[in-house]
Structure 1
């Protein structure tokens, strides 16, 4: 959750692409993560649902115990198929289906995590000429997912956690949110 908060809270409200997220969480988790991130960020954060067409400036988080998929028409869908890499939701499932839908226009990012989920999906994104980014293992709370991805794929960029949001903003010609201004704005509202 901390890694997502660090990245998403620095993205501007008008971030020009949708974001799809898989977070390994308990199958019986409530939607605290969605509420927390939506309150902490300028972009909208929602739980992903069936047949939603992702909108720019919005992050969609896979619900507990459901795989998040991207259909070829770029709508979202959910599945309770078998776990992949001991996880449901699985990063591999999201990445592999998103690669089919978005091809070279997809950016796949692997963050902190304690299994190998995401490596195969990142490999497919790279095969389809999408951009691949991995959090540097030294900055990860759990380094197994970043290390596994780096071992499996010739990733385009290995970045420290605190550089990922500004890198994404630079790609899309946006300025990241200044944390000082966020704190000042919150103080004004108190």
Structure 2
């Protein structure tokens, strides 16, 4: 999942619609300011039964857990499908950025990857969803009319690679159905 401006509210709504028994793990890139300590974990933990944590380099992802990219680190799936945090250059002026996360997840999980682009004011995620589609994964985008900021959803839709464009409240049920098929 990727979000930028307006993302905390959108992520709270989406994650709140997923069961704590979700038979998948979730990676999240939310553009965060690196200049101060983030409060995203406690904020999102109040909205969902899923376990929320800041990702750590080398984490072995567990089902039912949401891994949030920490400020100023890209979150990727690395060797042996462990999580990797990198300090590579910003992508679309952001670190963390969605594109490296989507690309690495697609490489590791292929057709079992579900990329989800939510509210935001830039084009982050649009390149990464191409990698997801190339490997048979599914791309879901928040309907721009329900997004606080429409830039990221519109940019993703403009690629022509999106499988589902849904209002925010309909994304969690769609993910639940898709995970059940994996």
TM-score by length of 2: 0.92
Deviations 1:126-170 (A, max 9, x none): 111101111111011000100001111321111110100111122
Where does the alignment leave 5 or more consecutive residues of structure 2 unmatched? 1-7
| Residue equivalent to 1:168 | 175
Identify the match of residue 151 of structure 2 among 119, 133, 144.
144
Matches within 5 A, 1:1-190: 1-173=8-180
**Inter-partner Cα distance in structure 2 for 1:133 and 1:33:** 23
Larger radius of gyration: 1
Where does the alignment leave 5 or more consecutive residues of structure 1 unmatched? 174-190
Residues 60 and 81, structure 2, Cα contact 8 Å, conserved in 1: yes
| Residue equivalent to 1:184 | none
Q: 1:3 offset after TM fit, Å?
A: 0.3
Aligned-partner SS, 1:133: strand
* Larger relative contact order (CA 8 Å, sep ≥ 6): 2
TM-score by length of 1: 0.88
Deviations 1:61-86 (A, max 9, x none): 00000010101421001111110000
Which of structure 1's runs of 4+ aligned residues deviate more than 3 A? none
**Inter-partner Cα distance in structure 1 for 2:160 and 2:36:** 32
